[in-house]
Structure 1
Amino acid sequence: MFHYTIETDKSVDEVIEALTTNLYKEHFGILWKFNIQEKLQEKGLEFEEPYIILEVCNPFEAKRVLSEHAVAGYFLPCKIAVYVEKGTTKIGMPRPTNLIGMVEMDAYDQLLEIAQDVEKRLINCLDRSI
């Protein structure tokens, strides 16, 4: 599957608070918190459900990826979406292993190993946040 998505009974704010803590434990920081609902409403468009995209990064892992192949930087930073769909809060992300798999490059094996590690750690963060 291209993505990993789970559901929770927590509110969007509760999930983001838990995610922030869990990401920090894995040395990931939140670089940007993009509130799509607010942005659309600001532009005069109705959008009823909360939808937040977090851009997260672990500087050590980013350096490793960029040192292997600059094109892999197109996938940085990692994105995590927290949103409400039909009354249910969801947390999801594109799988780094699938993103890396879209690019043919000499450093594929090394990048896949990094992507697998990052994916496992991010999934653990998501799972601990529900």
Structure 2
Amino acid sequence: MYHVVESSKSFQEILFELEPAVQRLGLTVLAVHDVGAALARRDNGFDEDYAIYDIVGWRQAEEMLRDDLRAGLFLPWRLAVYTENGVTRLGFLRQPPVADPSLQRALDEGAARLLQLVDEMR
């Protein structure tokens, strides 16, 4: 399920403020992918800003991987920051429920942190 919100901030403001906010929440940015610039270089008419952040909570990642290394397929958490017709949006994909209670707990905690982050960036 998508969780996407509008922000009153510009795309550049979000990029400037996002990493410190991630760190305040005890998370780490592993990578930032400037998808908008990459698509624009392809000369295909794509003219929106679009960045994807790979984010991890080390405690949650350790908990997830301790029991089952396949849980790494849920990592890293991805947050998209983009513009759409001049409006800045932030969003992420909520993971579907899983049968393993400890994995579900870690996924829920990650989703809660991403929700907090998105709300802070509005």
TM-score (norm 1): 0.86
User: 1:19, 1:126 within 8 Å by CA — same for their partners in 2?
Assistant: no
Percent of aligned pairs with the same amino acid: 25
Question: Once the two structures are superposed, what CA deviation does each residue of 1:8-27 show, in whole Å capped at 9, x if it has no partner?
Answer: 12111211222212210122
2:66 alignment partner AA: S
User: 1:49, 1:85 within 8 Å by CA — same for their partners in 2?
Assistant: yes
Instruction: Report the CA distance between 1:127 and its aligned residue.
Output: 0.3
Query: Equivalences for 1:46-85 in 2 at 5 Å?
Result: 46-85=45-84
Instruction: Report the CA distance between 1:121 and its aligned residue.
Output: 1.4
Residues of 2 paired with 1:68 and 1:18: CA distance? 34
Residues of 2 paired with 1:114 and 1:50: CA distance? 31
Aligned to 1:83, the other structure's residue is in SS state: strand
Aligned to 1:124, the other structure's residue is in SS state: helix
- Kindly indicate whether residue 14 of structure 2 is the aligned counterpart of residue 22 of structure 1: no
Residues of 1 paired with 2:21 and 2:6: CA distance? 17
Aligned to 2:26, the other structure's residue is in SS state: coil
Q: What residue is the counterpart of 2:9 in the other structure? A: 10
Q: What residue is the counterpart of 2:119 in the other structure? A: 127
Q: 1:113 aligns with which of 90, 105, 108?
A: 105
Q: What residue is the counterpart of 2:88 in the other structure? A: 89
Instruction: Report the CA distance between 1:129 and its aligned residue.
Output: 1.1
Structure 1 segments (4+ residues) deviating >3 Å? none
Q: What residue is the counterpart of 2:40 in the other structure? A: 41
1:76 alignment partner AA: L
1:64 alignment partner AA: E
Aligned length: 122
Aligned to 2:88, the other structure's residue is in SS state: strand
